[in-house]
Amino acid sequence: MGKFDTDVFVAGGGPAGLSTAIAARLAGFDVLLADRARPPIDKSCGEGILPHGLAILEQLGVRLPPDRVRSFRGIRFADAGGQAEAIFPGNRFGTAVRRTVLHEALVRRAEEVGVELQWGARVERLTAHGVLVEGTRIHARWRICADGQNSRLRAQTNLEPPRTPVVRRGQTRHFQVAPWSDLVEVYWSEHGQLYVTPVSETEVCLAHITRNIVARFEDALRGFPDVARRVAGAQESSPLLGTATLTRRIWNVARKNVALVGEAAGSVDAVTGAGLTIALQDALALAQALRAGHLSAYATAHRKIMRLPYLMSRMLLCMDRFPMLRRRAVRAFAGEPRLFSGLLAMHAEPAPRVTRSAREMLSLGWHLLTA
């Protein structure tokens, strides 16, 4: 094969690709990352990071500017029939941050640790021993595909998922208004969900998620009058961004010296709020597998990482699809706060115990029957 140009090549410079590149570099590998876009890269996103995702950022040495983030202590569900809230256990907090601010921090850390970054460079395809970037062949020992949920490179690996994903549409816009809660709020209605995240002391992110792929953001917002009233007259501080949000499970995420990471390796619906945290967990697990010299450990770890978020995604999609189930669930959460807190505690743990997960789900089933 000859001399490697780099140990690890990462295709894709979003949070998944950058965090993987940083983790691999900290593990002692030479790393080259390429993306056709230029930073900071923005995307429609709920912009919340769960507590264990924040711990991974700290482990990677990624420093978020304290004046441009906002902590949140839990989740609130609000429906026409009532509302319920749950707090992260152990006095832990999640962190909300604008996607562009997070991207800038990841790029800065990648540069600090010595990742070679090629922006504005299109990764054309995988080759027998590396990749083709803007017509140039690069030999790499490990090739990491972090090019998103519609990954072109994934199709070249024969790791394409066999099932049709559940697809909804997400739209995001920011408003210059002081947050009215220290919780991430999820408002439910027949119009979908409106996800409200306080991203700084003076700004909130509104993300609308729906099965109606032609819904206009302004029309959808009127379906959530409480939120519409709070942001009425507030200055819009970002353009409207839209994207498809997919629930798709991919079992095979590694083969020989190629691995999928982030949304290229599967995704859960944005309503779970787990997307960024899953990408960060994948990055650590993949770096550990690279250090061990084989990728089978990463494939096993990824399945464990995705297990509970995927289950949560399916449950929340059922709540979206069936209004009666949603009303029963919110009543059950409101009437039994420990139930909602237990589910959030599972969601906030990097690897919840199977017995605990089963117990919480059985308890939820019983309360849905009796609510």
Angstrom distance (rounded) from CA 329 to CA 338: 13
Q: Which residues contact 176 (CB under 8 A, 6 or more apart)?
A: 202, 203, 234, 235, 236, 237
Angstrom distance (rounded) from CA 133 to CA 147: 14
Question: What per-residue string of b and e applies to 296-320 under the rule 16 or more CB within 10 Å gives b?
Answer: ebbbebbbebbebbbbbbebbbebb
Question: What 3-state class would DSSP assign to 48?
Answer: strand
Angstrom distance (rounded) from CA 74 to CA 182: 8
- The pLDDT, as a whole number, for residue 357 is 47
289 alpha carbon, distance to own chain's centre: 21
- The pLDDT, as a whole number, for residue 368 is 45
- The pLDDT, as a whole number, for residue 338 is 84
- The pLDDT, as a whole number, for residue 77 is 95
Q: How many helices (H) and strands (E) does the chain have?
A: 11, 20
Residue 128: closest CA among 104, 168, 157, 164: 157
Residue 138 near residue 6, CB atoms below 8 Å = yes
pLDDT tens-place string over residues 125-159: 999 889 999 999 999 999 999 999 989 999 898 88
Residue 85: closest CA among 336, 371, 360: 336
Q: Could you say which DSSP state residue 180 is in?
A: S
Q: 326 is written with which tokens?
A: 């949603």
Mean pLDDT over all residues of the chain?
90
Question: What 3-state class would DSSP assign to 79?
Answer: strand
Nearest 5 degrees, angle CA 300-CA 305-CA 310?
115
- The pLDDT, as a whole number, for residue 366 is 42
Angstrom distance (rounded) from CA 304 to CA 238: 36
The pLDDT of residue 355 is above 70: no
175 or 308, higher pLDDT: 175
**From the CB of residue 229, how many other CB atoms can be counted at a distance below 10 Å?**
9
Q: Which residues contact 369 (CB under 8 A, 6 or more apart)?
A: none
Residue 115 near residue 108, CB atoms below 8 Å = no
Residue 172 near residue 240, CB atoms below 8 Å = yes
Query: What's the whole-number mean pLDDT along residues 49-71?
Result: 96
32 or 357, higher pLDDT: 32
Q: Report the relative pairing of strands 31-35 and 116-119 from DSSP bridges.
A: parallel
pLDDT tens-place string over residues 92-116: 999 999 999 999 999 999 999 999 9
Query: What's the whole-number mean pLDDT along residues 227-245?
Result: 95
Domains and CATH numbers, the chain: 6-70+94-164+246-322 (3.50.50.60), 166-244 (3.30.9.10)
